[in-house]
Structure 1
Amino acid sequence: MNRRHFLHTSAAATTLAALPFSVRAADKSGTRKFRTALIGCGWWGNNILREAMASGACEVVALCDVDARQFEPTLKNVSAGTGDTPKLFKDYRELLAQAKPDIAIIGTPDHWHALPMIAAVKAGAHVYVEKPIGHTVMEGRAMVNAARATGRVVQVGTHRRISPHNVSGRDFIRSGKIGEIGMVRCFVNYGGGAEKPLPTVEVPKELDWNLWCGPAPLRPFNGGDPRNPSQGAGNRGIHPRGFRNYLEYANGTLGDWGIHWLDQVLWITGEKYPKRIYSTGGRPIAGPAISTAAEQTTDAPDHQLATFSFDTFSVQWEHRRFAGNNTDKGENVGCYFYGTKGTFHMGWQKGWTFYPTDGRQPVVTEEPKLNSPDAQNIKELWADFLNAIRTGAKPVSDIGEVHLSTNMALLGMLSLKHGKSIEWDGAKERIIGDDAANTLLRREYRKGWEYPSA
């Protein structure tokens, strides 16, 4: 990244930051509590809700989940956090109509991000939605348009944008101390092996499986009990917590972890979108995907390589779910920025490190400042969200920016599914010269659900 390019992108970022966001007058005082609802009461939704309650600015008025087994641990969380007695709902539409929240937290699986978020802002709520913002590119575009049309603040859960070591690392890179960037490598590597299919089991009576699948295809149920953490964490069934590697409901490791690290690339460099994308991968270790009435496996790739070409540098993505070797700092996630003055590793639980090209110069490192549980900075991101609601400031993880990061991951998956490289017109959000690839920017919803219009 040369100085001219840096100045240009910095000016563009300044312009974006000046965009107006409408705010309810009653919110500006910072004295009243926001009526807050959680849609999706699983493990991560409760992590977000815990920080909302800890802020002292939120009254929990409603909880929504299609699996009634999620309510018991969530109600215990609320009782410990605020003592509130929220109303319980199975359908987010009923929640929005009856509870009328000021803030809606959306912690659902990926395929259920778009419709509740759009409905919530149209109902007048500000929204904290988990990443990735949508399952397909055009879902994301519809979400951004809805946020802008209603003037609601929509914060996305890319909390690394506010983690102290990520912020200082960004400043270090943007100061020019690593020189011109020629390449970035993002990676997430975990162990794993051959996958055995799980049997189809009877849907628990507390779970509305038809509504869980919602606009996505309805497939046989395999899963466990969310009230048993050890079972949930190790279970590769679709629900709970296994949906990431079922491509009808998410986009694999690239669509999950990839959002964080590709977002770091755009956030640090000021770029908006790549021009060319190519991806390859497969399941040589996990084995062929199986989906029958009796049993099924995941179907996401057990490894994937993707290349994103920008004008002045290239980005490589790599993930594996086998041979989970670590970096030299003991981390198996992060990204390397390769500059003319050295290599910068932006990590997670070990902070960041700069390795100068000149061996006479000292290695520079900064330790992280992460919160428990799960070594994250949701607390700081929630504070930024509340500040944006009260003041009209642009949130640090504004949906318009994270839409671009989500697109990078989704386009990598699109190239893999399409089996070809693609050229991307980011301004028009169209693939150049490939009608078949453009059909993959959206998907048909299941009967009874309407794909959001952009």
Structure 2
Amino acid sequence: MPRPKPFNTSRRQFLSCATATTAAAMIPYTFTTNTAFAQSKKSGLRFALIGVGGNGTRTAPVGKEFADLVALCDVDSRHLDRGNAMLCDGEADLYSDYREVLARDDVDVVQISTPDHWHTKILIEAMRAGKDAYCEKPLTLTIDEGKLIRRVQKETGRVVQVGTQQRSSFNLFNKALAIIADGRLGKLKKITVGIDSGGWSPEIPVAEVPKELDWDRWLGPTPTMEYRYLEDSKRRYTNGHTHFRWWYEHSGGKLTDWGAHHVDIAMLGIDAAGQNSDPASVSGTAVHDVEFVDGMPVQHNRYNTARQFDLNVAFADGDVTMNIRHDVDNGLLFEGERGRIFVSRGKLVGKPVEELQSKPLPEDAVAKVYRGMPMIGNDRPAHWANFIHSIEHRTLPISDVHSHMKMLNVCHLAGICCRLGRTIQWDQATEMIVGDDQAAAMMSRPYREGFEIEG
């Protein structure tokens, strides 16, 4: 894929604004808080962590500020032992089968931090077992899985918070959305979403499965495949732990990894501007390191998700476009008729940000984009606080499954576009790919016998 033309001087300068501008963006905003809730964070709820790998051990300590962690579940005993020592002083109940956790009447909440391909099955069964859930993103592997999750959530009334914690980033992402909602950019014209390139690997040989890992259960609903592992002096490569994101069998690659964060904020920005965020099509180009036939990889010993991409999302009204690419700064560049801002996990910059010094936003501007809910903490702590608040009040959390899936469907459509190498047309009203039977068939996938997801 040819590299795009470099940013022109003004844009390069814009993205590296003076330190003073970045500092101004980082000035804490005055939040509307629920004082009683903030003073008593412990809810009395008991929760279990299902999936005790990297994301699990990063997010569960935050959850422990609000609920009691009583059980851990993982198919790798090494994760269980490490997590029990790290999170629970060796006192947690340990499980290798999540169904035993869901059967406990004294577990109110589950945090699902498994690899992506297990999210849907465990979440659906958790909701039907009467559990509220905090589930890491991306919620699903397919579009049709999202339809099922949304239906079950409505049927059961369970509270599900998706782990897109950028929705609870008040000093950066929510402040950017407030700037847009206040009309400081005018009508949005273009959003550039930078999510970095995907993973690369050499050929990875078949290897012996570690004795502590139940590989068959780790694979779960996905096709049977041999365990692969390679380690050199610099790094390791595998189709298992951590590196599952680079295999279409288990994930959607970078598009459903960072894409699930930044495309999310992009579409919230369109909504904040009062414009139509219904996607209509995805087009563009991608680079894979393996050959594809009919949208399926034919080589099985290397990472197979898209490594490079330049994708364009068109929306129903045609007045704003989204460009998702690997080769620009990680973050979002919002460009409107009156100005532009760039926001990432490290900065919020642009002339409209500088102008806040002399013309601040209305006092409730950030609170409004946070749906008027209590704003306690920031990022992960705020996201968990919002989850607990929503459980106590039986309301939709800030990152609910319905708005999440509208965004994630764009990421899934982008992945199908990459795999088939052609434009994908989408009808938001029916939530269907139109005019392309082969692409439409990729809205779902078969499940391995014994691990089916019940509708």
Report 1:62-77 matches (<5 A).
Answer: 62-77=71-86
- Amino acid of the structure 2 residue aligned with 1:410: H
Report 1:242-391 matches (<5 A).
Answer: 242-270=243-271, 271-283=276-288, 286=289, 296-310=301-315, 311=317, 312-320=319-327, 332-349=329-346, 351-355=347-351, 377-391=379-393
SS in 1 for 2:195: strand
Unaligned runs of 5+ in 2: 1-39, 362-377
- Aligned residue number for residue 203 of structure 1: 209
Partners of 1:182 and 1:150 lie apart in 2 by 40
Does the aligned pair in 2 maintain the 1:354–1:364 contact within 8 Å? Answer: no
- Amino acid of the structure 1 residue aligned with 2:322: V
Q: Is 299-308 or 127-136 further displaced after alignment?
A: 299-308
Report 1:126-275 matches (<5 A).
Answer: 126-164=132-170, 165-189=172-196, 195-223=201-229, 234-270=235-271, 271-275=276-280
Query: For the structure 1 residues 196 and 261, does the alpha-carbon distance in structure 2 shift closer, same or farther, using more than 3 Å as the test?
Result: same
- 1:138-173 CA distances to partner (integer Å, 9 max, x unpaired)? 111111111111101000011011112111111011
What is the identity percentage for the equivalent residue pairs of Structure 1 and Structure 2?
30
Does the aligned pair in 1 maintain the 2:50–2:111 contact within 8 Å? Answer: yes
Does the aligned pair in 1 maintain the 2:205–2:229 contact within 8 Å? Answer: no
Q: Is 233-242 or 199-208 further displaced after alignment?
A: 233-242
- Amino acid of the structure 1 residue aligned with 2:63: A
Does the aligned pair in 2 maintain the 1:59–1:84 contact within 8 Å? Answer: no
Report 1:89-100 matches (<5 A).
Answer: 89-98=95-104, 100=106
- Amino acid of the structure 2 residue aligned with 1:181: L
Partners of 2:421 and 2:250 lie apart in 1 by 21
SS in 2 for 1:155: strand
- Aligned residue number for residue 63 of structure 2: 52
What is the CA distance between 1:78 and its match in structure 2? 2.1
Query: For the structure 1 residues 300 and 363, does the alpha-carbon distance in structure 2 shift closer, same or farther, using more than 3 Å as the test?
Result: farther
What is the CA distance between 1:75 and its match in structure 2? 0.7
- Amino acid of the structure 2 residue aligned with 1:315: M
Does the aligned pair in 2 maintain the 1:291–1:297 contact within 8 Å? Answer: no
- 1:103-137 CA distances to partner (integer Å, 9 max, x unpaired)? 01000111110000000011111000011110000
What is the CA distance between 1:394 and its match in structure 2? 2.3
- 1:64-114 CA distances to partner (integer Å, 9 max, x unpaired)? 1111110122112223xxx57221111111221146520010001111100
- 1:1-58 CA distances to partner (integer Å, 9 max, x unpaired)? xxxxxxxxxxxxxxxxxxxxxxxxxxxx9875212011100011111111011x2x31
1:409 aligned onto 2:430: no
What is the CA distance between 1:448 and its match in structure 2? 1.8
Partners of 1:105 and 1:343 lie apart in 2 by 37
Partners of 2:444 and 2:284 lie apart in 1 by 19
Partners of 1:425 and 1:100 lie apart in 2 by 43
What is the CA distance between 1:291 and its match in structure 2? 7.4
Partners of 1:417 and 1:445 lie apart in 2 by 20
Query: For the structure 1 residues 274 and 174, does the alpha-carbon distance in structure 2 shift closer, same or farther, using more than 3 Å as the test?
Result: same
What is the CA distance between 1:287 and its match in structure 2? 6.3
Moved over 3 A (4+): 29-32, 286-292, 359-366
Partners of 2:393 and 2:237 lie apart in 1 by 43
- 1:332-351 CA distances to partner (integer Å, 9 max, x unpaired)? 311111111122111112x2
- Aligned residue number for residue 109 of structure 1: 115
Partners of 2:311 and 2:359 lie apart in 1 by 29
SS in 2 for 1:60: strand
Partners of 1:180 and 1:389 lie apart in 2 by 36
Q: Is 260-269 or 415-424 further displaced after alignment?
A: 415-424
What is the CA distance between 1:410 and its match in structure 2? 0.4
SS in 2 for 1:113: helix
Does the aligned pair in 2 maintain the 1:63–1:87 contact within 8 Å? Answer: yes
SS in 1 for 2:341: strand
Does the aligned pair in 1 maintain the 2:159–2:395 contact within 8 Å? Answer: no
- Amino acid of the structure 1 residue aligned with 2:307: D
- Amino acid of the structure 1 residue aligned with 2:87: V
Partners of 2:130 and 2:99 lie apart in 1 by 13
Query: For the structure 1 residues 128 and 361, does the alpha-carbon distance in structure 2 shift closer, same or farther, using more than 3 Å as the test?
Result: closer
- Amino acid of the structure 2 residue aligned with 1:354: G
TM (norm. structure 1) is 0.79
How many residues align? The count is 389
Does the aligned pair in 1 maintain the 2:245–2:251 contact within 8 Å? Answer: yes
Partners of 1:88 and 1:99 lie apart in 2 by 16
- Amino acid of the structure 2 residue aligned with 1:352: L
Q: Which one of the candidate residues 419, 436, 439 is aligned to 1:437?
A: 439
Does the aligned pair in 1 maintain the 2:117–2:251 contact within 8 Å? Answer: yes
What is the CA distance between 1:190 and its match in structure 2? 5.1
Unaligned runs of 5+ in 1: 1-28, 321-326, 367-375
Query: For the structure 1 residues 440 and 413, does the alpha-carbon distance in structure 2 shift closer, same or farther, using more than 3 Å as the test?
Result: same
Query: For the structure 1 residues 169 and 304, does the alpha-carbon distance in structure 2 shift closer, same or farther, using more than 3 Å as the test?
Result: same
Partners of 2:440 and 2:109 lie apart in 1 by 34
Query: For the structure 1 residues 378 and 313, does the alpha-carbon distance in structure 2 shift closer, same or farther, using more than 3 Å as the test?
Result: same
Does the aligned pair in 1 maintain the 2:120–2:149 contact within 8 Å? Answer: yes
